[in-house]
Chain A
Amino acid sequence: MATSSDTSNPHFARRKALKVAVTHLCVEAGFTNADESPLETLIEMLQSYLSELGRSAQAFCELSCRTTPLMSDVVMACVEMGVDVKSLPTYARRANKSVFLPPAQSAPTAHPRSLQVGLRKQHPTHIPDYLPPFPDPHTYIQTPTHKKAMSEYQLVREKAATQKRDVELALTKFVAKTGETECLFQDDPYAFPLIANCPKPVAYRSVLLPKDQELELYTEEDTTSKELETPTAAQRAEADSAAAQKPESAGNSQDATTPQKPPVPPDPAVAAAAANTAGDVVNADSQIDNPYLRSIQMPRLKGGGKKYKWA
């Protein structure tokens, strides 16, 4: 109770009023000063006395099957507490009674209306007023943030067709701009580019061969190129299944023809083999030199006498 602030805790306000009343009574009795401790004792006693009277009176009232206490219930409670009921009127008429007006009840602090949006809904008639008000309407009103997707068949069909056409158009434009093109008009090569048709000599072969490993496609192209990495070709040939005989023999024939490459230890070659699948595409093009895909070149040792092993 001591932790709450005075304005919010109703007990403090009433306690203060009791203190004033008790002080009045002490002054009436004849005291001029009072210590804090006995005063607090008297206040505590008064509070518990009033509470006990009320509780006892309510108990008497309920004993006779009523809910609202009457004067007789209060009198019975007083008798039980040991109050001399007959002297009550005499006491009331005493001369030097003092009255003090209690401080006016301050209005309940209105909550600052921060971040209120819109008008709050009023209580319906069946809800009493002491219950809290409704929250802001934006907390429970649903407003969709997007347009509902079309579900009519015609519109969906139209949309699918439009998308398909757009995708095809975009894809053909992309291939035309990045790949080989044939010109429709002689004077203006960029006007209507057509994707160049590259017919294969044996057209049916690509269809018949299994395509689950793309390495096979690239190995065919590599047989024609001259700069070929020997261990990679050999290792790839090991990994491949059927139809790898031709590139393997071609790769082995290249061994003798490429003396410039220093002997590469097999360990990095295994790691480089995975990268070489993409590197082969690059080598076939032979125009882009990817530094990450070059072979490892060891630097030369300076100082002839020392011979260190390269890790």
Chain B
Amino acid sequence: MGPREGRTPGPNLSDFMMQLEDYTPTIPDSVTSFYLNKVGFEVSDPRIVRLISLAGQMFISDIANDALQHCKMRMSGQTKKHTKDKRLTLSMEDLTLALAEYGINVKKPHYYT
């Protein structure tokens, strides 16, 4: 058990920042900047903005993946057909289950009263 490679993410990330120059995350820079400016975060370097948008993307992607797993589990439990239905729908139950693992409790009303 040797020393873990790169205990600090510093060198990796500083290289990564160089790559961020050309990278365009899914969330546009202007949108991220809008929300960051709203809370008082103003920066002229777009790479930092892209870093934050990437972090947000990763967060949502992880949750979506977990919800997909739940959905697939549900599908495999229900349908007995050989070819599974390819229509995977993101539903509230799957999302609630996925978020519960993150410690986020979501309770939405089913209908408006």
Contacts from A to B (Cβ < 8 Å): 10, 14, 17-18, 21-22, 24-26, 28-35, 37-39, 41-42, 45-47, 49-51, 53-55, 57-58, 68-71, 74-75, 78, 81, 83-89, 91-92, 97-102, 105
- Which residues of chain B are near A91, meaning CB under 8 Å? 54, 57-58, 61
In angstroms, how far is the closest chain A Cβ from the Cβ of B61? 5
Chain B, interface residues (CB within 8 Å), range: 35 or more
B46 within 8 A of A: no
Chain B interface mostly:
helix
* Bound form: Cα–Cα A191–B41 in Å: 98
A34 x B52 contact (CB < 8 A): no
Given contacts A85-B13, A86-B12, A92-B16, contact A58 B48 (CB under 8 A): no
A21 x B26 contact (CB < 8 A): yes
| Residue in A24, A35, A57, A71 whose CB lies within 8 Å of B17 | A71
B91 x A35 contact (CB < 8 A): yes
* Bound form: Cα–Cα A32–B71 in Å: 12
- Which residues of chain A are near B91, meaning CB under 8 Å? 35, 38
- Which residues of chain B are near A58, meaning CB under 8 Å? 39-41
B106 x A25 contact (CB < 8 A): no
Interface residues of B in 11-57 (CB under 8 A from A): 12-17, 19-20, 23-28, 30-32, 34-36, 38-44, 47-48, 51-57
A50 x B35 contact (CB < 8 A): yes
B92 within 8 A of A: yes
19 additional A-B pairs beyond A46-B56, A71-B51, beta carbons within 8 Å, are A17-B30, A21-B27, A25-B64, A28-B61, A30-B65, A31-B67, A35-B90, A54-B40, A58-B40, A68-B44, A69-B41, A85-B13, A88-B13, A88-B54, A91-B58, A92-B16, A92-B20, A92-B54, A100-B28
Chain A interface mostly:
helix
B51 x A68 contact (CB < 8 A): no
A-B contact pairs, 27 of them (CB 8 A): A18-B27, A21-B28, A22-B60, A25-B61, A32-B86, A33-B88, A38-B67, A45-B60, A49-B56, A49-B60, A50-B32, A50-B53, A55-B41, A70-B48, A71-B13, A71-B51, A83-B55, A85-B9, A85-B13, A87-B58, A88-B51, A92-B19, A92-B20, A92-B54, A100-B26, A102-B28, A102-B30
* Bound form: Cα–Cα A89–B16 in Å: 6
Q: Which 10 A-B pairs have the closest CB atoms?
A: A54-B41, A102-B28, A34-B90, A54-B36, A29-B64, A33-B89, A38-B95, A55-B39, A89-B16, A17-B31
Contacts from B to A (Cβ < 8 Å): 6, 9, 12-17, 19-20, 23-28, 30-32, 34-36, 38-44, 47-48, 51-61, 63-65, 67-68, 71, 86-92, 94-95, 104, 106, 108
- Which residues of chain A are near B108, meaning CB under 8 Å? 37, 41
